Chains A and B, each alone.
Chain A
């Protein structure tokens, strides 16, 4: 068989090389598209999870609001109206001085009941957090706790407060609500503090209490599994909105829950 001329061999080599480049372009495009599709799918999954968490948070907030309302009606409005009813029932026209005092007291009690009802009607607004903002919504939440009488509350704000995304505010509100609920239920604290720090690069929020504290269980233990459902939820929610959550606690010295959310400023 006659040997091929060098030029023909060269053309064959070049042709093979070109085919190699074409294959590379095709494979690269295919892999790029595949990667892009995976990215889109992951993004959609995260969005779905976010929407689910948001919905869950909204439901929990509603549930908590209803609990607060029930408590408020029972402890404050009910009490005020019962007392007013008692005053009205025990009025004696023969004792004008006592009568006047009872009428005055009854008016004050009814006024207080009206005030409390007005506050309650505000808390029934589904988009209250969206309207008044996170700081004010949490201030109201602290007022409710404070009115119950078992805890003293304190709210501090450093820097100029700014609004963040409504959905993120809602999730943050739910995280704080969960933390406050844990304090009321388990911490045996006297004082609850909320400390906001607004900086141009982000927002820090600390929830402090002077309760009995606890030892944070190690990962993987059974204790951690039972202890951690609420706290894991808080962590998951914080992660979902790109915030970081840190809990520090030692027995007898209280607990601090810190939340940090770096973000761009949204003008009011």
Chain B
């Protein structure tokens, strides 16, 4: 009986929880690098607006199909966070090897996963509705490959020895 229960609500929870956790993570990473208090407030405000939009989208999506709109928005938001991270690194290059920092591997993994899967998330439901379940798994398999790449980046991040300042 449990197997016949739709798993879409789990995806929805996953979407919101992922956004909250990653927003907190990126806030910790980014807020310190913003020069003005206004920029920090704006960043937090944007996070809250995205969260509200995400909640509205999830509320409007049915439980029968994959919540492609909210996942698309989540992917877009995380990709934007990652771009801000790279932009900050280019603006304020630090005297350390970037590949020796955990955040580089974590954020690169997230960027690859969410950036690469954005079109898959956004179009997945459309394909299920139009051409059915026969071909759609191809896309989901590609998503899985991208997910695997993210996991490799994460393991690299966990294993890398943080740069020690002399």
Taking beta carbons and an 8 Å cutoff, which residues of A are in contact with B?
A: 2, 4-5, 7-8, 11-12, 14-15, 18-19, 21-22, 25-26, 29-30, 32-34, 36-37, 40
* Residue B98, interface by CB 8 Å: yes
Q: Is the interface of A mostly helix, strand, loop or mixed?
A: helix
* Residue B73, interface by CB 8 Å: no
Bound-complex Cα distance A41 to B154 (A): 30
Total of A-B residue pairs, C-beta within 8 Å: 73
A12 / chain B contacts, CB cutoff of 8 Å: 138-139, 142
Q: Is the CB of B118 within 8 A of A18?
A: yes
A5 / chain B contacts, CB cutoff of 8 Å: 127, 131, 135
14 A-B contacts (beta carbon < 8 Å): A2-B134, A8-B127, A11-B119, A11-B123, A12-B139, A15-B146, A19-B112, A21-B115, A22-B116, A25-B83, A26-B86, A32-B89, A34-B97, A36-B93
* Residue B90, interface by CB 8 Å: yes
Q: Is the CB of B146 within 8 A of A37?
A: no
Q: Is the CB of B98 within 8 A of A29?
A: yes
Bound-complex Cα distance A36 to B108 (A): 20
Interface size, chain B (Cβ < 8 Å): 31
* Residue B21, interface by CB 8 Å: no
B67 / chain A contacts, CB cutoff of 8 Å: none
Closest B residue by C-beta to A25: B86
* Residue B66, interface by CB 8 Å: no
User: Which positions 98-129 of chain B face chain A at CB distance < 8 Å?
Assistant: 98-99, 108, 111-112, 115-120, 123, 127
Closest-CB distance, B79 to chain A (whole angstroms) = 8
Bound-complex Cα distance A29 to B88 (A): 10
A15 partner, pick from B86, B117, B136, beta carbons under 8 A? B117
* Residue B95, interface by CB 8 Å: yes
A32 partner, pick from B93, B108, B117, beta carbons under 8 A? B93
B96 / chain A contacts, CB cutoff of 8 Å: 37
Taking beta carbons and an 8 Å cutoff, which residues of B are in contact with A?
A: 83, 86, 89-90, 93-99, 108, 111-112, 115-120, 123, 127, 130-131, 134-136, 138-139, 142, 146
B112 partner, pick from A2, A22, A34, A37, beta carbons under 8 A? A22
Closest-CB distance, B107 to chain A (whole angstroms) = 9
Closest B residue by C-beta to A37: B95
B134 / chain A contacts, CB cutoff of 8 Å: 2
Bound-complex Cα distance A11 to B117 (A): 10
B117 / chain A contacts, CB cutoff of 8 Å: 15
Q: Is the CB of A8 within 8 A of B90?
A: no
A21 / chain B contacts, CB cutoff of 8 Å: 115
A26 partner, pick from B93, B94, B111, B131, beta carbons under 8 A? B111
A11 partner, pick from B89, B95, B120, beta carbons under 8 A? B120
Bound-complex Cα distance A30 to B98 (A): 7
A40 partner, pick from B95, B98, B111, B142, beta carbons under 8 A? B95
Q: Is the CB of A15 within 8 A of B142?
A: yes
